[in-house]
Amino acid sequence: MDKLFYNPWFVKGISVLIAIMLFLMVNADNNNQPGGIPGVTNGSRVLEEVDLTVYYDEDRHVLTEAPESVQVTLRGPQNVLTLLQLANPRFELYVDLRGREAGVYYERVNHRGFSPDLSVSVLPVTVRVTIQDKQTVSFPVEIELTNRGQIEEGYTVGTPTVSPSNVDITGAQGLVEQIASVRAVVDVSGRNATFQQATGLVVLDQSGNEININTDPPVVDVTVPITSPNKEIPVRIDREGNLPPGIAIESITADPNTVTIFGPVSVINDISFIDGITVDLSEITEDTSIEVSIPVPQGVERIEPETITITIDITEEEEREFSDFQIEAIGLPEDREFSFINPEEGAITLTLMGSSNVLNRIERNDLQLYIDLDGLAVGEHTVPLQFNGPQNVRVNLGRSNIRVLIYDDDDPLEAEMDEDDDGMEEVHTEEESEEDTT
């Protein structure tokens, strides 16, 4: 007997026999099949919230209404119900609207995948299903900036940009028609520089209520320019050296002639112009254009533009004389007077040199000859002669110093005596010709 259990053919035969018995137990129906396996009875099982699938033409329609699940009651042999529970077979509850037009339908729920030995009951038996025509519409993206008042002091928010500027929305026609706007909401609190961020979209109806519908793409890139405090100021061009003889400056222009500085308010409010740009006239022999970088003052964050172009136009130099040009005095206290000793009339002839266009535009009141008497005591003094006038001209004054007498205005006799004494003495002053470039 033991030898049989070691015989492989005997073991295979026993295995087949057991498999046949198990098959008969599963499929036997004691009530309908005589000779069924004793002890197998009928039963039932209720399946709650079984997913309901709706089939429709997805290229043309959108499902807008349908129950998500139904209840299923199964009745049949207990062994089949048990096998259903253990094996978890694939079954489906569905409604098929393929080939139908858009509309509202009341359809019976179909099923498949259950054992033919089971009785299947579905609750509800029929369901309401609505399909609508599919519609795709392009909407512009609006940008909503929040907390604008919470950016750093002095900074301003520019006009934001979005990429892409339009998005597509696909959905049921009735739902798409409710859309009033598509918005990207960006918080700018605490910002002090231009920034970019990816932002999700919100779809709103006319009342401002959010609509649950997808956009394509679902996220856009928003760029928000944040500008620091700024101020537009002129550029001053300084000159050094002298032009070669016979050449005059027709014009010196800067393009642009103003720049914008950016930085803290406390810094830029104290800056009225940009200096530090110098043109060496000794190197100019013909019309010239020079591109120069703008120096950035201390505390300024940046300058726009960073460079300017200086254009120097030259021409042949000419001369123009202004005779009997009166010398002014500045800085004299109110309780004192003065008189000229040399030149006695207090006037000289000055010669301007420059281009004919510049010289022809000059009027006498555009020029000033003056001496500064501030801080000088009563008595005679030799003071430098100074000149103010327009740019792009040179001046020949014929002398560099002026001799004057300062006296108290309440002692005219003393002043007259001093003047008479001065008239009897020979006053020697060494005058030097000087040419200034202004």
Segment 129-139 shows an average pLDDT of 90
Instruction: Provide the token pair at 26.
Output: 């599963």
pLDDT of residue 37: 45
pLDDT of residue 3: 59
Segment 299-316 shows an average pLDDT of 92
CA atoms of 276 and 288, how far apart (whole Å) = 20
Banded pLDDT at 6 (limits 50, 70, 90): low
- Is 27 a residue whose pLDDT tops 60? no
pLDDT of residue 261: 92
Contacts of 424 (CB under 8 A, 6+ apart): none
pLDDT of residue 431: 39
CB 262 within 8 A of CB 226: no
- Residue-wise pLDDT tens digits, 335-382: 899 999 999 999 999 999 999 999 999 999 999 999 999 999 999 999
Sign of CA dihedral 295, 300, 301, 306: negative
- As beta bridge partners, residue 70 has 50
Sign of CA dihedral 90, 91, 95, 97: positive
Does residue 263 or residue 384 have the better pLDDT?
384
- Is 388 a residue whose pLDDT tops 90? yes
Please classify residue 289 by burial: count the beta carbons closer than 10 Å to its beta carbon, then call 0-12 exposed, 13-18 middle and 19+ buried.
exposed
Residue % of the chain over a pLDDT of 90: 50
Banded pLDDT at 95 (limits 50, 70, 90): very high
pTM for this prediction:
0.48
Does residue 153 or residue 7 have the better pLDDT?
153
- Residue-wise pLDDT tens digits, 158-174: 899 999 999 999 888 88
Sign of CA dihedral 318, 321, 327, 328: negative
- Is 423 a residue whose pLDDT tops 50? no
Banded pLDDT at 309 (limits 50, 70, 90): very high
pLDDT of residue 7: 65
Banded pLDDT at 85 (limits 50, 70, 90): confident
pLDDT of residue 228: 84
pLDDT of residue 435: 42
Banded pLDDT at 10 (limits 50, 70, 90): low
pLDDT of residue 282: 87
Contacts of 135 (CB under 8 A, 6+ apart): 170, 171, 172, 173, 176
Instruction: Provide the token pair at 393.
Output: 């001209």
Contacts of 380 (CB under 8 A, 6+ apart): 341, 403, 404, 405, 406, 422
Banded pLDDT at 60 (limits 50, 70, 90): confident
pLDDT of residue 2: 55
pLDDT of residue 21: 65
- Is 421 a residue whose pLDDT tops 80? no
- Amino acid 235 reads V
What structural domains and CATH numbers belong to the chain?
1-38 (no CATH), 41-124 (2.170.120.30), 137-227 (2.170.120.40), 230-316 (2.170.120.40), 318-437 (2.170.120.30)
| Segment among 50-59, 337-346, 362-371, 404-413 with least mean pLDDT | 404-413
- Is 29 a residue whose pLDDT tops 50? no
- Is 200 a residue whose pLDDT tops 70? yes
- Is 428 a residue whose pLDDT tops 70? no
